[in-house]
Amino acid sequence: MSEAVWWELLIMIPGSVLAGYAIVWSVPAAIMCAVVSLGSLQHIIFMDRQLAKDVNKYYNQNGYMIPQYQMSWAIGSRCFDYWLMYPFIRNRSKTNSKRFKLFMWVNALGMWSWIGMFAFGFLAKSLSII
């Protein structure tokens, strides 16, 4: 095999794997985000209590969520932010729940697979592989 083929394989195989996971993950992620942002506030409250750097930013002194952070788009945005940043903020989590950790890792990998897919796609395009 020529050297050019190896470079193509080293770029296209990880890019294809990431693209496959990103596409497969997107449908359940849309449902999960809808459940978190449009459903009961208990899901985002739990995520805030576990992962927020400053919980007092989102809750008043009585423990109730501030109205501007109760909007569905604000909740969905925080949910995506937690999913994206989970590999870096997982040490803030106070729970030992394997289910929560699995949920967050699956979604973090989904978010990062989109970023990786576009990065490998850009790399392949800039090297004239595709």
Residue type, 104: M
Tokens of 120: 């490998």
- Whether the Cβ atoms of residue 68 and residue 74 lie closer than 8 Å to each other: yes
What's 70's DSSP letter?
A: S
pLDDT digits over 107-116, tens only? Answer: 999 999 999 9
Banded model confidence at residue 70, pLDDT cuts 50, 70, 90: confident
pLDDT digits over 2-59, tens only? Answer: 666 777 777 788 888 999 999 999 999 999 989 988 988 888 989 988 998 888 888 8
Query: How far from chain centre, in Å, is Cα 12?
Result: 23
Q: What is the pTM of this model?
A: 0.84
- Within the chain, where are the H helices? 3-38, 42-51, 72-89, 98-126
How many Cα atoms within 13 Å fall on the side-chain side of residue 14?
15
pLDDT digits over 82-109, tens only? Answer: 999 999 999 999 899 999 999 999 999 9
Query: What pLDDT was estimated at residue 1?
Result: 59
Query: What pLDDT was estimated at residue 40?
Result: 84
- Residue ranges of domains in the chain: 3-126
